[in-house]
Structures are given as C-alpha cells and as structure tokens.
Amino acid sequence: MIRPTDHPDIPAPRVGVLIVNLGTPDAPDAPAVKRYLREFLSDRRVVEIPPLLWQPILRGIILNTRPKKSAHAYGQVWTNEGSPLAVHTRNTARALAERFADEGVLVDWAMRYGNPSIASRIAAMKQAGCERILFAPLYPQYSSATTATANDALFATLGGMRWQPAIRTLPPYHDDPGYIDALAESAQAHLAELGRPVDALLLTFHGMPERTLHLGDPYHCQCRKTARLLADRLQRPVEVSFQSRFGRAKWLEPSTEDTLARLARGGVKSLAVMAPGFSADCLETLEEIALRGRDVFVENGGEFFGYIPCLNAETRAIDFYQRLMRQNLQGWLT
C-alpha cells in the first residue's frame, strides 16, 4: 500500500519516564493560589465529602479566605527559580535525563495539580515518540490522595487519546532498601553539618484523615514501616508524627505540632526534624516545619532546631531513582 502524501510523520519509538509530584501554584500570589486550591480541593480523592455539601463550602468560604494566607506562606519559601517543589522536581528530571541519555530514554516531569500538567507532558512525550512510558509518582508511601489520584489523571488523559502509549506505573517504595539507605545517608550527613548532637530525631509525615486508615488506605502503615526501617538503619530511636491537619475530622496522630511542643516541654533541648514522606522540599516542609515548626519548638522551651532537607535532587537521590526506574523499566530497555 502506498503511503498517502498527507500521512503524519511518525517519530522513532522511544521509552519515556514521567516523574510526578503533587503540585504548586504558578506564583506566590492570591489569584494563582486560588486557582491551584480550586483544582486541588475539588479532587474527590483529596476531600471525600459529597460535592453537594463540599463545593458550597469550598467556593463560598475557603477560596475567599485561604488564598491570601497561603500566598503569604508561599512567599516565605519561594525562590528566584520559582516554587521549591517545582524546582527540585525539575532538577531531578534533568539529572535522571542525563543518566539515561545514552539509552535514549526521555525523562520529563509533571504536577498532579497546576503546571506542567500530566496531560500536557503525556501528549508531548507521545509526540516525541514515546510508545512506552513509566509513570512515576514520587510518593514513597501509597495514598489514595496522592498516588491514586495521580494515576487517575494519567488514565483520564489516556482516555482522550486515539493512539495510547503502553504504560507502567511506579509502585510505592517506602521500604525499598535503596530508599532507606538514601534517607539514612542524607540524615547522617546533615546531622554532622549541624555542628552539635541532637537529643531527638523527629520524622514527620503528611497527615491524612484517620478514616482513610479504616477504609483500607495503607499510607499510615507504610509511613510507620519507613520510620522503623530508618531507625534501624540509623541505629537510634526516632519520634514519628503527622502534620498538616485540616478541618474538623480526626486525623492520624500524633500531630507534629503537638509532638514538637511535647518534646520541648519534656526536656528535649536540641531536635532534628526530617520528612521522609516527601521526595522534595515544598511549602509543607519549608514553611510548615522549618519555619513554623521551629517556632513551636522554641516557644515551648526548645533551644536548637535543625531541619534535615528532603532528598530533592541530591546525588544520593538520583543514584536511588536511577536504580528504581531501571528496575521498573526491565524488558523495555535494550
């Protein structure tokens, strides 16, 4: 059969990796934050309240009061390059692209909420010839409000494509020995840089409503396992807490704010805090923990507070991600 003259060009087939993080507003101002929160808080995986009850509250109260406050918080951690979460995720993708360049693997990045969107990057990767894509949400612990909703957005995108790429999705890696090693090495390096020993090490994870545990979400158990394995690897006891409570429902406990106050009142004078549920530093780590968390600790009698950064795009993180992606690309690489 003769190829029609108007047949579209088809690029050479490639393998792609799309790393994904939660999301961020485009700017640290109220209008941008409002757009971001509207998308984020309208996700039924995030807020499991019937829309008829939730949307009037969201549109009538929250979106008219919270954006200004959140914009101020974003402004405290925003960098010259942009949102910390976007910067670190982009840098991670670039570093991985260099590692896989010789094998022709295209590495890109996206956000579940905000920009660049999952739909836009999947379309760009397909246009570039990616017929096989590893979709990699960088959430160590699985939650329906993070991993599952990212996968939802992916499959919704595929639902609108005539020629879909083959897809693999990255499973949680909360107990992967390479992940635990990377966390431990990072903790040891940053603890040494503090210049003084600490009385306690607190591991803070993002909170979830307690009902998600009873509904079958494995997040709480996976957080606890990460903490146990990291404590074993570091050969030291750790405290575990959950941050970012929102609304009146009961959330996973103990809360990070309460734990910081309790430790300080209980005689802990020097404390280090680490967030092993976050792959990259963001508003919840830099503003909520490194700034406001520090204030809570000091106001209750603490003297020294050291924040240990997320893995971000550190070499140890890229080494781990390269191994993890390669493991999940088996059979696709030649």
Cis peptide upstream of residue 116 (ω within 30 degrees of 0): yes
Model pLDDT, residue 98: 98
Model pLDDT, residue 245: 86
pLDDT along the chain (334 residues), means of 10: 69 95 97 98 95 96 96 97 98 98 96 98 97 98 98 98 97 98 98 95 97 96 98 98 88 97 98 98 98 98 98 98 98 90
Which residues partner with 204 through β-bridges? 241
Residue ranges of the annotated binding site for Fe(2+) are 206, 284
Model pLDDT, residue 144: 97
Model pLDDT, residue 3: 66
In whole angstroms, give the CA distance from residue 57 to residue 22: 23
The reply to whether domains 14-173+316-328 and 177-308 share a CATH topology is yes
DSSP-assigned states of every residue in 143-176: -IIIIIHHHHHHHHHHTT-SSPPEEEEPPP-TT-
Residue ranges of the annotated binding site are 206, 284
Report yes or no: 75 and 69 within 8 Å, Cβ to Cβ. no
Taking domain 14-173+316-328, whether its CATH number is 3.40.50.1400 is answered by: yes
In whole angstroms, give the CA distance from residue 241 to residue 249: 17
For 137, the enclosing helix (H) or strand (E) is strand 130-137
- The CATH code of the domain at 177-308 is 3.40.50.1400
Look up the pTM and report it. Answer: 0.95
Q: Could you state, in order of their start, the residue ranges of all structural domains in the chain?
A: 14-173+316-328, 177-308
